Amino acid sequence: MKTRHIIIFILLLAIASGIYAASLSNQFVYDDRYTVAENTYIKDIKFLPLLFKTTLMHFQYGKSGQDMFYRPIQGITYMLDYLLWGLDTTGYHITNILWHSIVAFLVYLLTMLLFQRSVMSMLAAVLFIIHPIHTEAVMYISGRADSLVSAFILIYLIYFLKDIGRARKTTVFSGEFLFAQCALFAAFLSKEIALISLPLLLLVFYVY
């Protein structure tokens, strides 16, 4: 990663941390009880395969049909959080802020790729960071899925566009193309809204 990119990411992280610092003292609320606090599946690495075989809150609802969210990537991030923080909610909120910052940085990269304007790209990323529409995704631990799916969709778009010139000249799959497909797959494992990836690709392709 270029030094400039590192500086921009640190700046975005600092802005996000300043805005959402108050969330660090928040406790588990609403679905956090089922997705984290009482979720046995995230508390032992041996349950990792079950995160891909069951729904997000299967431990609570079982096969009752009340939980229809298949989000193994979200479960994996909770498992990593539990390994690091146990049930200390501060750590989970730090992770949410980090993911929000990553998404903002990816917004910057995509905007730069499309328009090649540093100031505009930075303003777009900062606007994303500070926009209140993201409050729930950042301050609500169970809202993390929004940041996860956004990150993987943006990675998909960025790497697909990077490979677009090669894709026009050869039928050989490049590393960028394959990485883009992996990111798309991860997006679908993060949240159902990943379905918008393909319409977004058409729009971005048109602008590009």
Residue-range domain boundaries for the chain: 3-207
pLDDT in tens, 16-32: 999 999 999 888 888 88
Q: Confirm whether pTM is higher than 0.75.
A: yes
**Angstrom distance (rounded) from CA 130 to CA 73:** 25
User: What's the pLDDT score for residue 168?
Assistant: 52
CA dist 111 and 137 (Å) reads 22
Average pLDDT per block of 10 residues along the chain, 208 residues long: 88 95 89 86 88 78 61 94 93 96 96 89 95 92 94 92 62 72 92 86 75
pLDDT at 16: 96
User: How far apart (Å, rounded) are the C-alpha atoms in residues 193 and 155?
Assistant: 15
SS3 54: coil
pLDDT on residue 65: 47
